[in-house]
């Protein structure tokens, strides 16, 4: 997994490490994140790591500095844990999914509240077992049906729409390594 890790660009590495820190190491409730992530991953991670001082923007800058330093000396066991994650939330700066081919335990891919995505190809998920792709929000969804091949793969269950999806209990039961409140 180490070779796969070093071949990822910095944004992928940073995002994956932050999610590992928040959901795996700090055991932040995934259900809280999925219910309302209006604060965003970085702000939630600052709170979980007790990095909140006074100005949220400064806190995030401090977090990113810490993450940058930690990425330089990641343990191989941490890298393996990252590639074993069952849940990933991707933001709109991720424009390709090819790294997901190495996430053999991936069960849920979250795009909710992302609003924009340039992703058109879900081929990286073809050899996975069932993967839920979440695309829901109160105001604007990505709607992968319009510009991607998401419906070509029988192992992808695409959940899109406005509001809270009725399938969320099903999604929660599918994730075995995450704190659900």
148-159 pLDDT per residue, tens: 999 999 999 999
Beta carbons of 19 and 42 less than 8 angstroms apart: no
Six-digit token string for 151:
């419906």
Beta carbons of 134 and 109 less than 8 angstroms apart: yes
Per-residue pLDDT band at 115 (split at 50, 70, 90): low
Per-residue pLDDT band at 114 (split at 50, 70, 90): confident
**If you average pLDDT over residues 45-64, what whole number do you get?**
86
Q: Which residue has the tokens 């039961």?
A: 173
Residue 139: predicted pLDDT: 81
User: pLDDT for 3-53, tens place per residue?
Assistant: 899 999 999 999 999 999 999 999 999 988 888 656 688 888 988 999 888
Chain Cα centroid distance, residue 113: 12
Torsion of CA 19, 43, 29, 145, to 10 degrees: -60
User: pLDDT for 66-105, tens place per residue?
Assistant: 999 999 999 999 999 999 999 999 988 888 999 999 999 9
Beta carbons of 144 and 168 less than 8 angstroms apart: no
Beta carbons of 157 and 131 less than 8 angstroms apart: yes
DSSP 56-100: HHHHHHHHHHHHHHHHHT--HHHHHHHHT-SEEE--TT----GGG
Residue 65: predicted pLDDT: 92
């Amino acid at each position: 997994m180490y070779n796969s890790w070093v071949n990822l660009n910095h944004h992928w590495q940073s995002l994956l490490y932050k999610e590992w820190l928040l959901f795996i190491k700090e055991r932040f409730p995934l259900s809280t994140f999925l219910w309302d992530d209006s604060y965003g991953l970085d702000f939630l991670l600052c709170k979980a790591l007790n990095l909140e001082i006074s100005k949220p923007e400064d806190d995030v800058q401090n977090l990113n500095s810490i993450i940058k330093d930690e990425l330089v000396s990641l343990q191989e066991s941490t890298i393996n844990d990252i590639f074993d994650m069952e849940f990933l939330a991707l933001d709109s700066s991720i424009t390709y999914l090819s790294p997901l081919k190495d996430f053999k335990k991936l069960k849920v891919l979250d795009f909710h509240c992302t609003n924009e995505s340039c992703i058109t190809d879900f081929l990286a998920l073809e050899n996975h077992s069932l993967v839920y792709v979440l695309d829901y929000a109160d105001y604007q969804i990505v709607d992968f049906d319009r510009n991607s091949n998401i419906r070509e793969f029988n192992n992808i269950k695409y959940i899109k729409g406005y509001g809270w999806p009725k399938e969320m209990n099903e999604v929660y039961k599918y994730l075995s390594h995450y704190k659900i409140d």
